[in-house]
Amino acid sequence: MNSDSFASAFGGMSRRMFLERLGGVGGSALLLAGMSALGFGIASASERPPTLGGGGGKKVVVLGAGLAGLTSAYELSRAGYEVTVLEARGFAGGRCQTARKGFKLQELGGEEQVCDFDDGLYLNHGPWRIPYHHRSTLHYTREFNVPLEVVVNDNDAAYVYFEKGSGPLAGKPVRKGQVAADIRGYSAEILAKQVKQGALDQQMTAEDREQFIAYLRREGYLTEDLAYKGTDGRGFAVNPGAGTDPGPGKESTPFAMTDVLHSNAWRTLSSVAGYEQQRTMFQPIGGMDQIPKAFEKRVGQMIKYSSLVKQIRQDGSGVSVTYTDGTGKTSTLQADYCICTIPLSVLRQMDVGVSQKFKDAIGAVSYSLVGKIGLQMKTRFWEENHHIYGGHIYTDDPNVGTISLPSTGWQGRKGVILGYYNFGSNAAKVSALDVSGRAALALATGQKVFPEYKDSFETAFAASWHRIEHNLGGWAQWDEQARAEAYPVLCEPDGRIYLAGEHLSYLTGWQAGAIESAWQQIAKLDQRVHAA
Amino acid sequence: MNSDSFASAFGGMSRRMFLERLGGVGGSALLLAGMSALGFGIASASERPPTLGGGGGKKVVVLGAGLAGLTSAYELSRAGYEVTVLEARGFAGGRCQTARKGFKLQELGGEEQVCDFDDGLYLNHGPWRIPYHHRSTLHYTREFNVPLEVVVNDNDAAYVYFEKGSGPLAGKPVRKGQVAADIRGYSAEILAKQVKQGALDQQMTAEDREQFIAYLRREGYLTEDLAYKGTDGRGFAVNPGAGTDPGPGKESTPFAMTDVLHSNAWRTLSSVAGYEQQRTMFQPIGGMDQIPKAFEKRVGQMIKYSSLVKQIRQDGSGVSVTYTDGTGKTSTLQADYCICTIPLSVLRQMDVGVSQKFKDAIGAVSYSLVGKIGLQMKTRFWEENHHIYGGHIYTDDPNVGTISLPSTGWQGRKGVILGYYNFGSNAAKVSALDVSGRAALALATGQKVFPEYKDSFETAFAASWHRIEHNLGGWAQWDEQARAEAYPVLCEPDGRIYLAGEHLSYLTGWQAGAIESAWQQIAKLDQRVHAA
């Protein structure tokens, strides 16, 4: 591996940095053997926290006890920094919240909700999924022994419910796997016949064409004469079973291609899942907040809860942060450095002693409008009657978007469905309703998919992140210009103030973005301490 | 719904039977509403056990305490039959076994194995997966509160390792999702360009062609000019992350189409998973034997363990079964009817009082040769170094077939890999080796995929079902002629003897086949009792 390809394979890390990291990890021989045997390297530079030089008692004030703040506090304190965390809320986690019985939420200008789900049921109204390649998040679930379970993020048995198409499949729940089998089957048939008829004779060798047709036959379940006539993979009309009746069962009949095309249901398909949606996905057993709770066990004593930052000042020798605590008392905290993880949507309204350029950059990003609602259902009708275990119901109702079925409590008595997951102007519109109005909207669409929906509904809990104090949005949404101009400014410290959070990553909206940003910023801070 | 389509939708059940069943179940209004709203019916006739008329103390002897025997004993005894089960082994479950510390297995003519996996680790060397549409199996996990977890049965991050192709991807572990993205992307490109150039102008309307191209663009991640140039769905060369470095990361480069074609790796792809392999799949937490253990709690007192059937006789008034118990004592048990779930591979060697036609039919089926090995690894290197969480490594080494990664104990310290899953003559060949020879063979292939394999290996447990007493094979393999001629004979009772088991179903090798066969046979027996 030459040094160019080395640098590109390891995210621009120098060879020295890379070897240092490996040295601290153990098993380097294996890792290197693996890499060369496999012909590709470790994709991410950020699998593990940075090795810090050591704080030697330097004081760091961390603003915000979300994932970025918790990560900073945990790693810096382990390295000998003296850390204090100021957190506006009475609990850690930031947007990583789990609503269960007794959880309270009051949106700005809204009613106070007290979650009244049955014991054991919950909604992750913030982050809810961990893709297998978010190695940073998985680093901490492993280190802290947070037990995980699989999120079923793709389920061919789940329905697509699209109303806006036309033809016999529009406005009807259709199983995604049936749409996939049919349109891919017909596509394979058309393409295989084209190849057979010589369409690619100029482009491909005879041997390749033969292999290609063999692939298409397999992919599309084609007959020997290259026709798609359905497949057991789309399900049976009568399932096979015992004896002679049902015996072999009865195959299902494919949809007509034109009906699939007009239904729009194919919009849910792609060759492989997009990067952020890929299997295997996980969730902590019992709720996503198990992750901040695990951090809290380790750094909880450093956190000053219910502490609202009022002013941030810095000079050549340190940072001072003025805040009010839960009793309303105002205090000022002195530190050598500050890691500020406050969302930019909130930070831009605060009194922060940074340069004008930095302030302008803070103001240059918008935050997503996003809403979720959890609907407690008194039966798991989707499992019992429809035989759908987890996964998502895709709708083309933009107020609802995705209805998601729980990947926990399989075969239990009740369950909490994610009743909508909406964005942008739709999220704004829905969030203008009170919670019962939001539930009614969710139920109206769900009822079109599942006839049991309204009868089964018991109680709802809703969150609209753009209306939630201390967040004012779901996640940072960088446009191209802001990414090019403002983002690099904010990735570097302003004096002694370092920003960190999902907003300073290309994994916006994911916990991994927050964690990896924290890793990067504390490494910079630590290098500076040691260079000094 | 007219009565023809009714019969076909409900597996030939009469409308009367159907309504009777629904009546016993509750929620019929909902179910019917659902069916009509959704435009399709319940696919399987066998979601729930039959409603039995009641045994009134009639005696039934059940031979075998596998899933078919346990189901028969549970349902018949609840309905008032007096049931005795004779089981050759010291435990219930039949082929549904879980090997964990202390589990003993001696293959015919082989060494005695005592499983020495670490506490908490196990191998399901019999059935190991429950597809979501095996409603009969899921009926009992729900009724008995057997907690389930997801089996990751498809994982795009898992490797395909095919040696027998040619070109640069042969003999190299390649991530399945990369192969899928590339060949589907190129196919979509070729097809979209064909459509654009008018290849389908005679077959499709202009509107359909436009939709079709829109589908192909989406499916294959094509650029605006219909080219496939890769996708983030195939993974990054450098993962996106924090700050400006790695920042957006670095996209990966697609394989050349000819390389994919020559690699043979496309043989692992199909438009949707085949019927038996579909998501969502489950396993009981802690091992598949949690299912027979749950049955045992309810019918254990009816089971005479370590009881070997020597002779089965019947006449116009009853059945007598002679057996030896664990002490070597021979006894004869009288009953009104017999449910015999002994595998045909074993039954055909026994002294059974049935007609010649029935005997001939029992002899007409062959049983699969099948082997599995569990390899305890001291680290979960596939998760830690390769970022593969569950799923299967497909190989073209027929002695190994599939290597399967555990879908339990995520991020734990150790794990048990299924080191091979082989069939037919390959299973025969491998089973001729002793256990350490089998492990060596499994390790040699696994080592080509994972450089950590041999170093991590600690201990093995292997099972070759064709060499296991009381089973003599994995499952019934009906050829076309036997299915047409012998199978229907065996589905009907011979006098007072009813056969049941996976072999009397079209779900051979699955627990659902055993359960649904039992349901069908006990329903017949019960009808006869009530007709008498």
**HSE-CB for A57 with a 13 A CA cutoff:** 0
Interface test with A, best of B40, B176, B272 (most A CBs within 10 A): B272
Residue B156 to residue A279, Cβ atoms within 8 A: yes
Query: What's the DSSP call for residue B97?
Result: -
The mean pLDDT of A447-470, rounded to a whole number, is 98
Is the pLDDT reported for residue A482 higher than 70?
Answer: yes
B176-196 vs B206-219: helix crossing angle, rounded to 10: 160
CA A445 to CA A450: how far, in whole Å?
A: 9
Give pTM, 2 decimals: 0.91
pLDDT bucket at A242, cuts 50 / 70 / 90: very high
List B residues 403-462 in contact with A (Cβ-Cβ < 8 A). Answer: 407, 410-411, 450-452, 455
The sign of the dihedral angle between the CA atoms of B340, B343, B348, B350 is negative
pLDDT tens per residue, range A301-355? 999 999 999 999 999 999 999 999 989 999 999 999 999 999 999 999 999 999 9
The mean pLDDT of B314-320, rounded to a whole number, is 97
The sign of the dihedral angle between the CA atoms of A509, A510, A513, A515 is positive
pLDDT bucket at A19, cuts 50 / 70 / 90: very low
The mean pLDDT of A123-141, rounded to a whole number, is 97
Length of chain B: 532
- Asked if ipTM goes beyond 0.95, one says no
The sign of the dihedral angle between the CA atoms of B126, B131, B135, B138 is positive
CA A270 to CA B234: how far, in whole Å?
A: 12
Residue A132 to residue B244, Cβ atoms within 8 A: no
pLDDT bucket at A26, cuts 50 / 70 / 90: very low
What kind and span of H or E run contains B366?
A: strand B366-367
Tokens read off for A53: 């030089």
Is the pLDDT reported for residue A18 higher than 50?
Answer: no
CA dihedral A197, A203, A206, A208 (to 10 degrees): -110
**Residue A491: per-residue pLDDT:** 98
Residue B381 to residue A30, Cβ atoms within 8 A: yes
Residues of A in Cβ contact (< 8 Å) with B138 = 411
CA A470 to CA A242: how far, in whole Å?
A: 59
For A240, which residue in chain B has the nearest alpha carbon? B506
CA B96 to CA B89: how far, in whole Å?
A: 12
Establish if A32 touches chain B: CB-CB under 8 angstroms.
no
Q: Where are the alpha helices (DSSP H) in A303-404?
A: 344-347, 356-362, 381-384
E strand segments, A389-479: 391-395, 402-405, 415-423, 457-464, 476-477
What mean pLDDT value characterizes chain B?
A: 92
pLDDT tens per residue, range B76-134? 999 999 999 999 999 999 999 999 999 999 999 999 999 999 999 999 999 999 999 99
**Residue A532: per-residue pLDDT:** 79
Contacts of A173 (CB under 8 A, 6+ apart): A159, A160, A161, A393, A448, A449, A450, B38
For A516, which residue in chain B has the nearest alpha carbon? B242
Q: What is the CA radius of gyration of chain A?
A: 27
CB atoms within 10 A of CB B297: 10
* pLDDT-above-90 percentage for chain B: 89
pLDDT tens per residue, range A382-409? 999 999 999 999 999 999 999 999 999 9
Nearest to B272 among A39, A133, A181 (CB): A181
Query: What's the DSSP call for residue A121?
Result: -
**Residue B401: per-residue pLDDT:** 97
* pLDDT-above-70 percentage for chain A: 91
pLDDT tens per residue, range B261-286? 999 999 999 999 999 888 899 999 99
Q: What is A171-222 written as a DSSP string?
A: TSEEEHHHHHHHHHHHHHHHHHHHHHTTTTTTTS-HHHHHHHHHHHHHHTT-
List A residues 263-282 in contact with B (Cβ-Cβ < 8 A). Answer: 266-267, 269-275, 278-280, 282
Residue closest to B489 by CA, chosen among B345, B309, B365: B365
Query: What's the DSSP call for residue B117?
Result: P
What kind and span of H or E run contains B514?
A: helix B511-531
Nearest to A46 among B194, B204, B242 (CB): B242
Is the pLDDT reported for residue A58 higher than 60?
Answer: yes
Distances (CA, A) of B421 to A43, B90, B124, B405, B486: 31, 26, 12, 12, 29
- Measure A411 CA to nearest chain B CA, in Å: 6
Establish if A229 touches chain B: CB-CB under 8 angstroms.
no
Residue closest to B477 by CA, chosen among B516, B514, B503, B500: B503
What kind and span of H or E run contains B444?
A: helix B435-449
Is the pLDDT reported for residue A187 higher than 50?
Answer: yes
**Residue A279: per-residue pLDDT:** 86
**Residue B142: per-residue pLDDT:** 98
